[in-house]
Amino acid sequence: MPELPEVETSVQAIQEFTNQTIESIEIYNPNLRWKIDRKAFKRLEGLKVERISRRAKYILLHIGKPQILIHLGMTGTLRIADKTSNFYKKHDHVELIFQRGKLIFNDPRRFGSMHFIKEPGTHFLLKKLGPEPLSEEFNGEYLFQKIKKSLSPIKNALMNQHNVVGIGNIYANEILFDANIRPTRKSKTLTKREHHKIVTSTKKILKVAIKAGGTTLQDFYQPDGNKGYFKIDLAVYDRTNKKCISCKQELIKRIVQSQRATFYCRKCQI
């Protein structure tokens, strides 16, 4: 599933549609994870996109007070195409046709979604989200107070969108390796200093990943068709039985936590 860097990369790539008018919306298949409200989307035709932003792993097209919320799910992608192009790819579900070009939502597994939002603050996907990891609000003191009594493993706590948004399995592994903290540690056992290390590593890893364009493993592509290239910099994820790049002695171990693969170095991460 695309994580924060991949979604941020997509947001940056589609900025050309800011200040453009939506001339028409074509919905070929409304049956995504949540069914698309055709009538609501049709009301957006003829209106201008004032701003495009990201909240957590969601893409938001601001059209006055209403918004279009896009969730890429497991395999969803956005593709930019020429306005006059009739090229159709299997699993193209929605086309937003603008004055100059069109934005196409493709999702083979249909775990993604598109929503018409009147009140973003009360929408069920947005109202209980934690702070953005690159914001000032997300700091060591905040994280310490939030999870200091939690029995949850720290990796699970980082992936909990109520604690902090946008961090999925890949980056949780990378962050904890960078912070030298074992993913299985119970959150309540971490010191304040370790919370600060986690926050520092979070901001560092995510910034590097955004700059590199996200991580391509199977399904993620940028809207311009390019792959994300952060995979070449992965330090621990998917490196089972390879030597740790830090200590150069221990082999990376793989375990499963909450049905997700976890990778760590038994020597470096304590």
Token digits of residue 227: 């792959």
- Name residue, tokens 């592994």: 173
Residue type at 179 in one-letter notation: A
pLDDT of residue 233: 76
- Give the pLDDT of residue 213: 76
Tens digits of pLDDT across the chain (270 residues): 678 998 998 899 899 999 999 999 999 999 999 999 999 999 999 999 999 999 999 999 999 889 999 999 988 989 999 998 888 889 999 999 999 999 999 999 999 999 999 887 789 999 999 999 999 999 999 999 999 999 999 999 999 999 999 999 999 999 999 999 999 999 999 999 999 999 999 999 999 998 887 665 444 445 655 555 445 579 999 999 999 999 999 999 999 999 999 999 999 999
Cβ-contact 165, 131 below 8 angstroms: yes
As a whole number of angstroms, the distance between CA 52 and CA 69 comes to 10
Yes or no: say if 190 and 270 are a contact pair by the CB < 8 Å rule.
Answer: no
Comparing CA positions, the residue from 218, 257, 197, 204 lying closest to residue 108 is 218
What pLDDT does residue 220 have? 43
Could you tell me the sign of the dihedral formed by the alpha carbons of 62, 64, 65, 68, in that order? negative
Q: How far apart are CA 59 and CA 234, in angstroms?
A: 25
59: helix, coil or strand? strand
> Which phi-psi region, left, alpha or beta, contains residue 86 (left: φ > 0; alpha: ψ -120 to 50)?
alpha
Contacts 24+ apart (CB under 8 A), 232-235: 233/208, 233/209, 234/170, 234/174, 235/174, 235/177, 235/178
Q: Set out the domains of the chain in order of their start, with CATH numbers.
A: 4-122 (3.20.190.10), 140-264 (1.10.8.50)
| Beta-carbon count within 10 A of 120 CB | 17
Q: Is 93 helix (H, G, I), strand (E, B) or coil?
A: strand
Catalytic positions, written as ranges? 2-3, 57, 260
In three-state secondary structure terms, 8 is helix
pLDDT value of residue 226: 58
* Helix or strand (DSSP H, E) at 254: strand 253-257
As a whole number of angstroms, the distance between CA 263 and CA 110 comes to 29
E strand or H helix that includes residue 172: helix 169-178
Residue 120 pLDDT:
76
SS3 256: strand
